Structure 1
Amino acid sequence: MNPLVLICSQDAEFYLIYSHILRMDGFASELASGLEDALAMAGERRAQAVVLDCQPAGAAASTICTELKRDLQIGDLPVIALIAPGAGSQQLDLLKAGIDESFLRPIAPAKLLDYLRAKTVSARPEPHEIENGRSLCYGDVEMRVDTFRVRCDGQEMHLGPIEFNLLRHLLEHPGKVFSRGELIGAVWPDNIHVGERTVDVHISRLRRTLETSSPRRIIRTIRSAGYSLEDPGG
């Protein structure tokens, strides 16, 4: 079983970015949206580390760290703070709370991964993940999962984390039609609630980005059903 890292954040995009980074290095991750979630999940799920999202507006991260360190069952759990620009003043409170390590963002992913590997059991992707999960191709679209890169008709595309994960899910199941509800379940964190209209907005962004470099329609809308990849030979 891959080492589990809890990501404590109320920002869905933060979670999607860092869960992707962790997954590519062989870690599992789950989202904890607040103190109660973090305390419950750290014990129940046998987490091996916690990553705290520290934003300028709130001081909740130091409180969460204090409570985690106070819990006798998980007192040795490494807690890492990722401090957003403008939130540097929280560092002293985090140190008083017993934080194990803190990094100012933006941070090179390798620094976080090196620290986690040193603090947890060795995390390595399974062989089939290396073979099947690092590159996905369909028609004019090529995705390098391990480097978070997408090319369409030879041109590199810049996608946000939600659009990237939507495209990845479609590429992993070429030709399959997914309802909006299925895409929400596959792409968004479990405790982030979004409506079906949100899916339409992100699909529209993804389609617009891809089709700026390709004359072909790539994502097909099936009325009353959902979305799928267009047949590249059609």
Structure 2
Amino acid sequence: MPRATLLLVEDDPAIAELVAFHFEREGFAVSATADGEDAVLLAREKAPDVVLLDWMVPGLSGIEVCRQLRRMPGTANVPIIMLTARGEEEDRVRGLETGADDYVTKPFSPRELVARVAAVLRRVRPALAGELLSYADVEMDTVGHRVRRDGDAVALGPTEFRLLRHFLEHPGWVFSRERLLDAVWGHDSEIEIRTVDVHIRRLRKAMNEGGRADLIRTVRSAGYSLDTDPDSG
């Protein structure tokens, strides 16, 4: 099996060296640049499996690099994780709305970063990151297409399975209906936005059978989240 390729866009040499070391040790083929414009060129020449993207880099900002990668057909669906010292909620939301799949604030643990990358890779290349996703009392076998809650099998349709998988890969994150449409139905989907609500209801019905607690949190004017705390956010 070919190694997963990672494009690292980071202008701090010490951080870039540390990140590259940890990912190469995990078997990744790492290419790195400190320049935003160079990052876009590298991704255009050969799309990586995943991008680690610093918010503040010379040339183009990380946000603009993310925006351009999402517009290019070859990289539209490549997972992007933002690396940044910016920890404000508004900045995190801006990064996610631009198309980032996840967001890691500096300083960060290299082990956590590797785990985050493994999580987003499950969506596109599950064999690289393992087969089992879990959260609270929910377990999903992504290869066998099986879901269990507290040990009991849960029957899900294909769309509900993809929705739950996306939530399990990003527990605690709040996703707008638009972002869920992109992640589950695809960027070019012509599905109506309210269709997301229909499938969320179906997912809840299947997951909550038998009076189990609802893990899907509705966030007013924002979207949905997989969260064990109904009062959070």
TM-score by length of 2: 0.46
The structure number with the bigger radius of gyration is: 1
Structure showing greater relative contact order (alpha-carbon pairs closer than 8 Å, 6 or more residues apart): 1
